[in-house]
Amino acid sequence: MQHPRHLAGDACFLKTLFPHLAELDVQTVADHGTYVLIKATTKRSVAACPGCGTLSSRIHGRYRRLLQDLPAGGRPLLIALTVRRLRCDNSSCRVRTFAEPLGGVARPHARATSPLRRMLELLALALAARAGARLMAMLGVTVSRDTLIRLIRALPDPEFGQV
């Protein structure tokens, strides 16, 4: 068994409970009563172009993504994440600009963080989609039954003989 690490401070507390947030620079955590809003940016300064792999740190612009995360203490947790759009300097590359990847935080274009997506996948498999959507609403996560059905369809088929 691993020995527990004793951490101090609000940032460490947050990253212990939500390890995927360790990939982000959390700027503020605001209690809005019915929900909690985290404002964050990415930590890495360079990212590889998805077209040619060239590393770039040249910022073309920034945009805001709103991600829904695992509920915190029974309340919805939203992450307002500022994402950088970088420029690829390789003149022979077809990609001009690209959004920096978010690692384990979220897939491209996803509205849910990866840990929430995993929870939704398990829930969609365990329950019918309509019941799953109703249960998640009670737990503070807004998700449609169509989304749950899409998540099930996107899962790889279980291998033969797998329990």
The residue ranges that bind Zn ion (CB under 5 A) are 49, 51-52, 88, 90, 93, 95
Select 18 or 98, whichever has its Cβ closest to Zn ion. 98
Smallest gap from residue 24 Cβ to Zn ion (A): 25
Q: With H, G, I as helix, E, B as strand and everything else as coil, classify residue 57.
A: coil
Select 52 or 149, whichever has its Cβ closest to Zn ion. 52
Select 50 or 104, whichever has its Cβ closest to Zn ion. 50
Q: How deeply is 98 buried, as exposed, middle or buried, from its count of CB atoms within 10 A (0-12, 13-18, 19+)?
A: buried
Smallest gap from residue 47 Cβ to Zn ion (A): 11
Looking up tokens 């390890």 gives 19
Select 26 or 95, whichever has its Cβ closest to Zn ion. 95
Smallest gap from residue 104 Cβ to Zn ion (A): 23
Which element (helix H / strand E) includes 94?
A: none
Q: How far is CA 13 from CA 10, 37, 72, 102, in A?
A: 5, 16, 13, 21
Smallest gap from residue 46 Cβ to Zn ion (A): 13
Distance CA 69, CA 114 (A): 8
